[in-house]
Structure 1
Amino acid sequence: NFGNAFKNLYKGILTYVPNAPILSVDSKAKSVATPVGTFRGGVVNVIPNHRAGQIVTDASLNNDPTGRWAVVNPLNYASTIHPDIHILGDSQGTGLPKSGHMANSQAKVCADAIIRSFNGEDPDPNPVTASACFSPITSKTASWLTASYRYDSASGTMKRVDASFAEAPKPTSDGMQQMFQWANNIFADSFG
């Protein structure tokens, strides 16, 4: 639905250019040069490649092949470099979606594993995390998608549970109300 909004609803109003390497940015001309052309606009939003926070780089914990993420054990989110440091959310390199909902879910797996370690126990061998994403599409409608992920011991990674994937058929006003309910719930769960 998010992609459809750019292709249909905002066609001719917004230009979305994903995955285009940026050659240069001219703030006075409000233009961005890429290998596929130069784009101009009244407002130009340049979004750099996503990567772990600077604290991860400063601590030399960004050890995935791209140097952008911290590789962690998905059973406890412990760094593979420093096992006493736990990294989750946008900085971890498990391949899971980068979202607040996912970070909240990872935090629960991590906390459970730490408590188990204090008691001399191993982490849960089958953790499950969940992702929910709400996107406002207009000022009155929103879309959503959800999925769950389960640890796969054969690969040592979290794999999406295909039957758990669901997506709104279209943006709706009910979706907007659900987005605010979800936000209130996730904020209360995360911050108390």
Structure 2
Amino acid sequence: MTEHEQLLSQVEAKARNTRPWGWPSLPAPADADTIARAEAALGFRLPTLLADLYLRIGNGGFGPEYGLLPLLDSAPAGEPAAVAQYLANRESGRKDPDWPWPEGVLPISHWGCAMYACVDCRSPQATVLLFEPNPGDPDLAWFVDAPSLADWLRAWVEGTGWYEESAEEPEMLPWSDPRIRTAPLPAP
């Protein structure tokens, strides 16, 4: 079994036994058409591991805290889908250039208080970023949560993520790319 397959099996086992806040049950997996429609709307491909999570485990509803957002449909607690949140963030950044949203950075999980876990879909390892806008400075709102999506998922499966009560206070490094990757959207 490959590392990829082993990690998917571990995530699936935990996903079947835990429910994030607001999710009464694990949704059915997404189908290939949902992935294709999401990628068409986004204008970029999902990293293989992220697509496999949606295709094999569930269309959201598992993972740390509030869990992964569904790709195209709103979550039961009213949270928008990942694609809708990305497109809204990009549009908002077009209207307010002080808060641009980087290209290819897909919000995948809401932490509450306007904070999101996001996957950099353009990085080879699918870096997971934390968007934390609450201090009010857009240049200080982005952090590297995990060097890869695989590392982020392992931390959840093993109970070692920074969000765990038993975890030490994290020292997250700032993400250096947000302003470089914020080309404006074309005008509607």
Pairwise same-fold verdict (TM > 0.5): no
TM-score of the two chains, using structure 2 as the length reference = 0.29
TM-score of the two chains, using structure 1 as the length reference = 0.29
Structure with more strand by fraction: 1
